[in-house]
Structure 1
Amino acid sequence: MIPAPEAWKKAAIRGYRAGDFQALAALIDAAAAPERGMTATGLREFLDYPGFHPDDDLFVAPGEGGAGLMGARDVRVTARGDEIVPILESWGVVHPEAPPGGVGPALLRAALQRAGQIVRERGRGSGIFQARCATDDLATQRLFESGGLSQARVLLTILRPTLENLSPARFPANIAVRPYRVGQDEEAWVRAFNEAFADHWGGFMGMSLPLWTAYVRRPWFKPEISLVAWDGPDIAGFGHFIINDEQNALTGKKQALMRYIGVRPRWRGIGLGVALTRAGLMASRDRGMQACLSGVDSENVTGAHHIYEREGFVTIKRQFMYRVDVHAESVAGA
């Protein structure tokens, strides 16, 4: 059982309510200042996640007298969702003016307890709880470590600061590259995704069909920059890029996001990943983008980090992935 020091108990924590939406958006903006953190549409999509129930899975800390929110933390099943050992991702934020010592730990304890309940509800004996923070965020690192979490991985945010001087995308003769077809490609794409990322560290890069089906119907999904590489009837790889016009308007940037580059093992070693990267960057540039952001595991088994460096990306941010095992027996009834 995770200990509950007296300071933790003093923070008033409750479940999220629909009426908290504006206060949650304001909290996210305050924590991200001077940058703008998330659009209203983005927050609605974040809360509208298959299998995620904000009233059960998201916890908030109201401000004194109920004014605003001082913090929030959630927990949700990630990856495919059918893993024998469930993987539960937690996101959280604390207001920069929150009193020290109580809000962050109380929210983390609530999320860990809920994680144990989810494990029990899914009929599993244990799960993996994971959360992220910047490598220079010492306060959150201490918070995670006080809750029993340990550093497990370094994840990188990378940027290609210009989309000029792109090298041509050269595909093997047997590969046909087409835009994604909403309503037709979902099942084949999810199978290809899960095979491409089956050897990714930590097991959290799985995809469920319900999640992807909902994802491709978001208003910002642009099939013409979500490229699918076909070898006859089979998907060999994919290069999924995003241009979120609303987010760009908020930040004042013309920036694409390289969300997924994946190649199934059978088609590795023929330059397909590089070609899909270049093709997606060119497609983004042709739609007015000036830069492209992405994320990558610093120790990816395919060497993706180094491939992207050769393609002009530079590391702009590092995060620690923290993890801890959670057990239904020891946490659910805490």
Structure 2
Amino acid sequence: MHATPVHRPLTLDNAPALAELFAAVEAADGTDEHYDADDLAEELGDPRLELTQDSVGVWSHGELIGYAKATGLPDATDVHQVHVEGAVRPDARGRGVGADLVNWQVARAAQLHRERFPDLPGEAHIPIHAPNTTKRDLYQGAGFEARRWFFDMRRPLESDEIPVTVPAGGLRVVPFTAVYDEATRLAHNEAFRDHWGHTPSSADRWRHGTTGARSFRPDMSFLALDGDEVAGYLISHEYDADTAMTGIRECWIARLGTRPPWRGSGVATALLTTCLRTGQEQGFHRAALNVDSANATGALSLYERCGFRTRHTWIGYVRPL
């Protein structure tokens, strides 16, 4: 007999239990994602989250067997998005825990939407690993539909020689420095303004999740400058938990963008090749990134030309609120 699960909001103190849950899920689902307690404490500290209302953990016999979160984005123009996530420990699946968590996500997402942007259309968004058909069926049953496909791509760094490329028009590629932090945030918001699903990064969110994250690697991040103006940027992270689990040092290219006036001048290629060459010099085994397969600026073809190949496919599922 299984004990009746207890549902209660997550707290920062639950990060170790959440890390154990994530490890069990990864062992079963094979997404190549590894997190430690510090990573998850940082995620739980997201300034957009109010844990007492925006999260739930499912406990059985004192162990965390499932969780869910709903993060309402603070800004909206045409559509208000709420990003949801959740997982169930493999040995606790098939008992209705997942269905309960999906129902909670939909209800909380709808509430966040009513509270913040009731006059706009609302959507709940979740990425689902393409091979996970059980999770897909669960969300489709709750009204989610496949909207977009994303690729996790990798490139080895240990063998071939990477060419030196420079942007046209006298632009300079330089290492990232904190003095350009705010200008880089604004450049990112401009570069991705018309991309599907993009919501501008606030200063708090940018500091928390990008340049203020413990995984941020400024020595593997670069800017393309036109005079003193940021024309393009590349932001990299390195995850200690991933290295500890796999023994492979991976440079995760989290953000790469070119502002519209400088597109077509080789900015992205120069930033990318600079990062890859630096990664080789610093002993990284590979580089990796995630790309929208339908990116209108040709990002997918750029990455393929630079030697990246798809490792995982994720599907963006969306439900109207």
Could you tell me the TM-score, scaled by structure 2's length? Answer: 0.90
Q: Which structure 2 residues correspond to residues 127-138 of structure 1 after superposition, within 5 A?
A: 127-138=122-133
**Could you report, residue by residue, the CA deviation over 1:26-56 in whole angstroms, capped at 9, with x for unpaired residues?**
1111111176721121111111112212222
Instruction: Give the match's secondary structure for 2:213.
Output: coil
Equivalent residue number for residue 329 of structure 1: none
Equivalent residue number for residue 315 of structure 2: 320
**Could you report, residue by residue, the CA deviation over 1:158-189 in whole angstroms, capped at 9, with x for unpaired residues?**
0002353212122225212222222x223211
Q: Which structure 2 residues correspond to residues 44-123 of structure 1 after superposition, within 5 A?
A: 44-63=41-60, 66-78=61-73, 81-84=74-77, 85-123=79-117
Q: In 2, Cα distance between the equivalents of 1:304 and 1:274?
A: 10
| Aligned: 1:210 with 2:204 | yes
Q: In 1, Cα distance between the equivalents of 2:167 and 2:98?
A: 49
Q: From 38, 44, 47, give the equivalent of 1:41.
A: 38
Q: In 2, Cα distance between the equivalents of 1:22 and 1:255?
A: 23
- 1:247 is displaced (CA, Å) by 3.3
Whether contact under 8 Å (1:243, 1:284) holds in the other structure is no
Q: 1:19 to 1:231 in 2, by over 3 A?
A: closer
Instruction: Give the match's secondary structure for 1:29.
Output: helix
Gaps of 5+ in 2: none
Q: From 161, 165, 168, give the equivalent of 1:165.
A: 161
**Could you report, residue by residue, the CA deviation over 1:247-293 in whole angstroms, capped at 9, with x for unpaired residues?**
31233111111111100111011111111111111122221101011
Instruction: Give the match's secondary structure for 2:140.
Output: helix
- 1:20 is displaced (CA, Å) by 3.0
Q: Which structure 2 residues correspond to residues 1-334 of structure 1 after superposition, within 5 A?
A: 12-33=6-27, 37-63=34-60, 66-78=61-73, 81-84=74-77, 85-125=79-119, 126-163=121-158, 164-182=160-178, 184-204=179-199, 206-214=200-208, 215-326=210-321
Runs of 4+ in 1 over 4 A off after TM superposition: none
Q: In 1, Cα distance between the equivalents of 2:52 and 2:93?
A: 25
Q: 1:286 to 1:309 in 2, by over 3 A?
A: same
Superposition RMSD in Å: 1.9
Moved more, 173-182 or 304-313: 173-182
- 1:122 is displaced (CA, Å) by 1.5
Whether contact under 8 Å (1:77, 1:87) holds in the other structure is yes
Equivalent residue number for residue 6 of structure 1: none
Instruction: Give the match's secondary structure for 2:224.
Output: strand
Could you tell me the TM-score, scaled by structure 1's length? Answer: 0.87
Whether contact under 8 Å (1:172, 1:270) holds in the other structure is yes
Whether contact under 8 Å (2:207, 2:213) holds in the other structure is no
- 1:19 is displaced (CA, Å) by 4.4
Whether contact under 8 Å (2:173, 2:270) holds in the other structure is no
- 1:298 is displaced (CA, Å) by 0.7
Paired residue type of 1:232: G
- 1:195 is displaced (CA, Å) by 0.9
Gaps of 5+ in 1: 1-9, 327-334
Q: In 2, Cα distance between the equivalents of 1:132 and 1:36?
A: 14
Equivalent residue number for residue 5 of structure 1: none
Paired residue type of 2:96: G
**Could you report, residue by residue, the CA deviation over 1:204-261 in whole angstroms, capped at 9, with x for unpaired residues?**
5x32211112332333322222111111232110111222345312331111111111
Whether contact under 8 Å (1:227, 1:239) holds in the other structure is yes
Q: 1:106 to 1:82 in 2, by over 3 A?
A: same
Instruction: Give the match's secondary structure for 2:92.
Output: coil
Whether contact under 8 Å (1:176, 1:230) holds in the other structure is yes
Q: In 2, Cα distance between the equivalents of 1:218 and 1:19?
A: 19
Q: In 1, Cα distance between the equivalents of 2:9 and 2:165?
A: 49
